[in-house]
Structure 1
């Protein structure tokens, strides 16, 4: 019963994060909301895996967490430099 309530609370938080991702006034608000959606999805995977007694959902959650981290860093690098292939060492020295 307690884990079902946790799953419901995570779903409510997920709906709020998706609302922030849609309405966010800046790109950084949307990136943060997207990262929050990923984190909440991982938590939901863990809770559902526990409720259905399938521990392999934790492996899926860990993999999704790594993809979430890489995706967030890539988006932030793109918005900072305008290019994913940006290299700090190739800048001219002043």
Structure 2
């Protein structure tokens, strides 16, 4: 059992989780692990930005009252959208797009 987190976390929605699983299943475990580490670090960066009253990283777009931020993963063929939930100290990744090699 892992201890409860005391800081900001990243949660992947169903669609994003499926893409992460596909990466691993397709033999791209290193890419999967890089993305997971990137999302964990991003959650901490977003938390710091929110607590400093600064905008989170990414291109903002508001859809049905929720602001989503679009961001590429540097040096990897992946980009995604996330939203921020300060009351839960959480970012939620809804869309994770992987440009898989042909």
Q: Normalising by the residue count of structure 2, what TM-score does the alignment of the two structures yield?
A: 0.34
Q: Which has the higher contact order (CA 8 A, sep 6+)?
A: 2
Structure (1 or 2) with the larger CA radius of gyration: 1
Q: Normalising by the residue count of structure 1, what TM-score does the alignment of the two structures yield?
A: 0.36
- Considering fraction of residues, name the structure with more strand: 2
- Considering fraction of residues, name the structure with more helix: 1
